[in-house]
């Protein structure tokens, strides 16, 4: 399970990065489906979160991912001019142009963030994006900077679901 992630702090040998991917439903998610139906093998480090459109992606999703221990993030949607919702990807592009610099400013290595356009027909491109992101982040090692700042009782050690359920009940 998640024990592949080294939480002790030091970059151990055999480090396998955890990468969260935020993708749009119509292009990249479908492109990733195509990679599956085409049986294109790729690194298994990426977990996809499906959204309707890249325009839906709040930069806080990315901040949250890093805070929760992701070593890298991928954002991918429809190519410019191909957005299922006409212009959501343009809004995303502008947002990330600004956000990218902000992350760099606060000390997150921009190589941990991959922004890409993958269409529904680009299964092979999705594999390349995944493999490249994994290779980049693997080379960078685990993302420690943020977690070092998080207090020990920040809740990261408990199953997230358990916490939510505990509050709800």
Partner 1 sequence: MSRIGVFICHCGENIGRTVDCEAVTEALKDHPGVAFTEDYKYMCSDPGQQLVKKAIEDNDLTGVVVAACSPHMHEKTFRRACDQAGLNKYMCEMANIREHCSWIHEDRGEATEKAVDITRTIVEKVKHNQPLESIHIPVTKRALVIGGGIAGIQAALDIADGGHEVVLVEKEASIGGHMSQLSETFPTLDCSQCILTPRMVEAYQHPNIKLHTWSEVEKVDGYIGNFTVKIRKKARSVNEDLCNGCGDCQEACPAKRIPSEFEAGLGNRTAIYVPFPQAVPNIPVLDRQNCTLFKGRRKGLAKDACGKCKEACLKDAIDYDAEDTFIEEEIGAIVVATGFQLYSIGREQPEGLKGYGEYGYGEVPDVIDGLQFERLASASGPTAGAILRPSDGKEPKTVVFVHCVGSRDSEKGISYCSKICCMYNAKHAMLYKHKVHDGRAVAFYMDIRAAGKGYDEFSRRAIEEDGAEYIRGRVSRIFRDGDVVKVWGYDTLSQEQVVIDADMVVLATAMRPQDGVRELAQKLSVSTDEHGFINEAHPKLRPVETNTAGVFVAGACQAPRDIPDAVAMASATGAKVLSLFSADELEREPAVAIVNENTCIGCMNCAKVCAYGAIEQREICTVDGHVCGHVAYVNPGVCQGCGTCQAVCLSKSVELQTFTDEQIFSEINALCYWE
| Per-residue interface string for the shown chain with partner 1, residues 91-130, x marking contact by CB under 8 A | xx--x-------------------------------x---
**Strands, E assignment, the chain:** 19-24, 46-51, 72-77, 113-117
Site residues for partner 1, window 11-40 (CB under 8 A)? Answer: 18, 20, 29-30, 32-33, 35-37, 39-40
Which residues lie closer than 8 Å to 28 by C-beta, 6 or more apart?
76, 77, 78, 116, 117, 118, 119, 120, 126
Site residues for partner 1, window 125-164 (CB under 8 A)? Answer: 127, 156-157, 159-162, 164
163 SS3 class: helix
Site residues for partner 1, window 53-92 (CB under 8 A)? Answer: 53, 55-59, 61, 64-65, 68-70, 84-88, 91-92
């Amino acid at each position: 399970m998640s024990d592949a992630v080294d939480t002790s702090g030091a970059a151990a040998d055999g480090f396998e990065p955890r990468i969260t991917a935020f993708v749009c439903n119509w292009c990249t998610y479908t492109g990733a489906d195509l990679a599956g139906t085409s049986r294109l093998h790729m690194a298994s480090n990426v977990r996809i979160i499906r959204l309707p459109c890249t325009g839906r992606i709040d930069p806080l999703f990315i901040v949250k991912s890093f805070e929760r221990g992701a070593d890298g993030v991928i954002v991918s949607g429809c190519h410019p001019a191909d957005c299922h919702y006409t212009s959501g990807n343009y809004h995303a592009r502008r947002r990330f142009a600004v956000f990218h610099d902000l992350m760099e400013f606060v000390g997150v290595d921009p190589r941990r963030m991959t922004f890409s356009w993958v269409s529904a027909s680009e299964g092979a491109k999705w594999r390349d994006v995944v493999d490249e992101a994994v290779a980049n982040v693997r080379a960078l090692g685990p993302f420690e900077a943020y977690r070092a700042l998080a207090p020990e009782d920040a809740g990261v050690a408990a199953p997230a679901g358990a916490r939510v359920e505990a509050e709800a009940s």
